[in-house]
Amino acid sequence: MSTAIARQVGGGPASDGQPEPSDMVRRVEAAMERFEKPLVRYAAYLLGERDRARDVVQEVFLELCRRGPEIPVEALRPWLFTVCRHRAVDHWRKEQHMMPVSDEQLVATAAPEPSPPQAAERGALYQRVLAAVATLPANQQEVLRLRFLGELSYREISQVTGLSETNVGYLIHTAIGSLRRHLGNELVEGAGNEDR
């Protein structure tokens, strides 16, 4: 995906006749390298289909190409997730249905290939965690995904969802408390002590 988007942005000619990447091209490529996978996972959760999620994320990076210079570096991550959320909702509205992908599918597509013993061990743990997360209200699930999959701060989650930072903190705190009760303290120890 990055090559096609980089071509859209373009660059100036270098002395050897090859195009020289502009600062914007480098910025978009760096953003893609860092955020493409988390954005695809987030869009796949919202849309229920990985191919459509990739289309949405491609639109997000094309929008970054168009508006990149006006977006401060410190605001880039929440901006990307906000645009991703809006684009996913637009896609959903066009098709008038939303089928979230199962958490098992997200884990299977996002995780690197573990060894067979690791896979068995992780599989049991993932199943317990995913089953517990699935029991949470949708708003708690979303803020947890943005926090732990997207690695967004409370402020950035607030910008993406439109919720206040206080509400984001409350939802995360409540969700982690529910997970502790459901799974036991060993699985979520320290999860609520992350930097805000």
Q: What is the pLDDT along the chain (196 residues), one digit of tens a residue?
A: 545 554 444 444 444 444 455 777 888 888 889 999 999 988 888 888 888 889 999 998 888 888 877 788 888 889 999 999 888 888 877 775 445 556 665 555 554 555 667 666 666 776 787 788 888 998 998 898 888 878 888 998 998 899 999 999 999 999 888 888 888 755 544 454 444 5
Sign of CA dihedral 22, 24, 49, 104: positive
- CATH dotted code for 103-193: 1.10.10.10
* CATH 1.10.1740 location in the chain: 2-95
Answering whether pTM is above 0.85, one says no
Cβ contacts of 168 within 8 Å, gap of 6 or more: 143, 154, 157, 158, 161
List where CATH 1.10.10.10 sits in the chain. Answer: 103-193
pLDDT of residue 13: 45
Q: May I ask the CATH architecture of the domain 2-95?
A: Orthogonal Bundle (1.10)
